[in-house]
Amino acid sequence: MEHTISAYEHELRDLAGRIARMGGFAEHLVNDSITALTRLDVNLAHRVIADDARLDTLQREAEELAILIIARRQPMASDLREIVAAMRISSDLERVGDLAKNIAKRVIAINGAVVQKRLIVGVEHLAEIALEQLKDVLDSFTNRDDSKAAAVRQRDEEIDALYTSLFRELLTYMMEDPRNISQCTHLLFCAKNIERIGDHATNIAETVHYSVTGHAFELERPKSDSTSLESIQP
């Protein structure tokens, strides 16, 4: 049912629309940063860095609108949750943009040095899953689809597991030949950034769940990133 005050209804839709646009833009930044990485395209990397400023502006605008709605309408119940959710999601998306920017910076740092294709494939695959997660969670926000949000949250385990195996693989290459260390370190940071993007998708999934149901997820979600516990045996 619509609000009795149509301007209020309009403001809420405007806010949701802004978040959706931010989401689309964040996806585009991640996509381009990965393309820049796989093609080692420095120009594209520069463009990603420049475009990230636009996402920051969108975030500020969305946040200002949310604050204005709170001041003007004193929202209650589901409206209040939706506005709080929009604020949280906008800052998650802003961080996703920063992470894409970080990947782009790595591309510039690698600076056209020949990177072995087999090293990049794993990172690319990780990015595919992260992007899918981002897309699904944004859909769950737009359609207020709690079950889709729950699925995203469950699937983060997959990214974590993949990241852990990629971590081990890159370590192995570094041990094989010290000349790989520079590239592998850059790629490791890229992988870490992608893994963090997955975490933001999970955050957004939790926010969508709260917005739709009014409750936080109960159980601790499964985690498979064990890299913080790993070390090389000399």
Which structure tokens are listed for 69?
Answer: 């709605």
Q: Which stretch binds other proteins (CB under 8 A): 2-10, 145-153, 160-168, 200-208?
A: 2-10
| b/e map 39-71, b = 16+ CB within 10 Å | ebbbebbebbbebbeebeebbeebbebbeebee
User: How far apart are the C-alpha atoms of 64 and 69, rounded to whole Å?
Assistant: 9
DSSP for 106-145, written as a single string: HHHHHTT----HHHHHHHHHHHHHHHHHHHHHHHHHHTT-
Q: Name the DSSP class of 203.
A: H
CB of 161 to other proteins, least distance (A): 35
User: How far apart are the C-alpha atoms of 117 and 100, rounded to whole Å?
Assistant: 21
Q: Binding residue for other proteins (CB under 8 A) from 17, 24, 112, 214?
A: 214
CB of 61 to other proteins, least distance (A): 24
Task: By CB under 8 A, tell whether 219 contacts other proteins.
Answer: no
Q: Binding residue for other proteins (CB under 8 A) from 117, 118, 177, 215?
A: 215
| Residue positions counted in the chain | 234
Neighbours of 188 (CB within 10 A): 21
CB closer to other proteins out of 216 and 219: 216
Asked whether the beta carbons of 182 and 173 are under 8 A apart, the reply is no
Q: Which stretch binds other proteins (CB under 8 A): 3-11, 21-29, 160-168, 192-200?
A: 3-11
CB of 80 to other proteins, least distance (A): 7
Distance of CA 70 to the CA centre of its chain: 27
Q: Which stretch binds other proteins (CB under 8 A): 4-12, 112-120, 121-129, 196-204?
A: 4-12
CB of 210 to other proteins, least distance (A): 10
Site string for other proteins, 7-36 (x = CB under 8 A): -x----------------------------
Site string for other proteins, 52-81 (x = CB under 8 A): ---------------------xxxxxxxxx
Of 133, 132, 146, 117, nearest to 202 by C-alpha is 133
Judged by the rule CB under 8 A, the positions of this chain that interact with other proteins are 1-5, 8, 73-81, 214-215
